[in-house]
Structure 1
Amino acid sequence: MGRSTDRVSGIIQTDGYESYDSLLKSKLKILHAGCWNHARRKFFEILKIDPNNAGAQWIVKEIGKLYAIESKAKEGKLSSEEHLSLKTIGI
């Protein structure tokens, strides 16, 4: 990234592609938000090695709850307010 990003600030969501790491190491005021699918995959890798890992089990379950909320929202079963409320309280 060149000079066009010199004054950039905010949140950028990316997948797990390694080239995006340079943004994190720069002096830009950017918060890096990762992809849930890529993060979730790492916890499944842990569970392949250690199926009884309680921390990985918990994370996979919680991410599953977020996926369920997003699925309901996409199907139009949630209002914008309900969608935001459920994501905020983490149900």
Structure 2
Amino acid sequence: MILLYLITPFLGLLRNYIKYKQLKIFVFLRTPLLYFFITKLFQTNTIWKTMMFERWFFLIYKSLLSLYNDDYNKKKEKYIKKYGLKYNI
């Protein structure tokens, strides 16, 4: 069971190294720690439920962070240049 909880963080660590050429140990440890807290909070030993709740948590967290940082307006010009997008005003 522990092995299944380490596969996702390890694959994420590998992806980040391939994409950014850096290893961030906090990002690697964040997922297993969150798995532990979710398992204790919901009193569940079902692996797929724990992983699903973790994905939902990060989806909501990253969406709210993006709204807070106003990423849409900050990156709008970049995407217009990069992809030739046209926005209706």
TM-score > 0.5 by shorter chain: no
TM-score (norm: length of structure 1): 0.30
Higher strand share: 1
Provide the TM-score with structure 2 as the length reference: 0.31
| More helix by percentage | 2
